[in-house]
Amino acid sequence: MLHREADWHRDTILVVEDSPAIRKMVCAMLTQTGYNCLEANDGAEALRLLQEAGDVRLVLTDVIMPNMDGTELARQLSRTRPELRILFMSGYVDDSLVRPIGRASLFLAKPFTATALIEKVHQALDLPSLGGLDGCSGLSSA
């Protein structure tokens, strides 16, 4: 079933990005399109926010971050919040940690336009929940 445009205006997206400037820019793009946006600067903060925010439908996470990277965040969320959709983003598309994610999961390469961001978000929200995150199961944490 396709995600109806009217539903997009009610969805909440958690943006997990260690660069404040990028995080603010991404949230501005999302809110201008009608999404609600929460912000976290790493995976550990994202987990804390998700304990309090039950209505998040999508986690848009950078892959390479301090404290807890995006792949470890995705692994933990697949166990605790399997209904969440996860969209990865990274500027390190040639990095050995990022390459397998780009092939196996929803992935957005930085830099990106607002149009590319919104298209990927819609694509992610149209999918069934990613529960097991099979594409991430073989990745090692940085």
Q: What is the pLDDT of residues 94-113, one digit of tens each?
A: 655 544 554 446 889 899 99
Task: Give the C-alpha separation, 54 to 29, whole Å.
Answer: 22
- Residues 6, 58, 33, 39: is their CA dihedral positive or negative? positive
pLDDT of residue 93: 66
User: What does the pLDDT read at residue 139?
Assistant: 40
Angle, helix 70-80 to helix 43-52, in steps of 10 degrees: 30
Which residue, among 124, 135, 129, 130, has the nearest Cα to 30 in the 3D structure? Answer: 124
Q: Which region among 21-25, 47-51, 125-129 has the lowest average model confidence (pLDDT)? A: 125-129
pLDDT tens digits along 46-56: 999 999 987 99
Q: Which residue has the higher pLDDT, 14 or 101?
A: 14
Cβ atoms 38, 12 nearer than 8 A = yes
Whether pLDDT at 8 is above 60:
no
Cis geometry, peptide bond prior to residue 111 (ω within 30 degrees of 0):
yes
What is the percent of the chain where pLDDT is above 90? Answer: 60
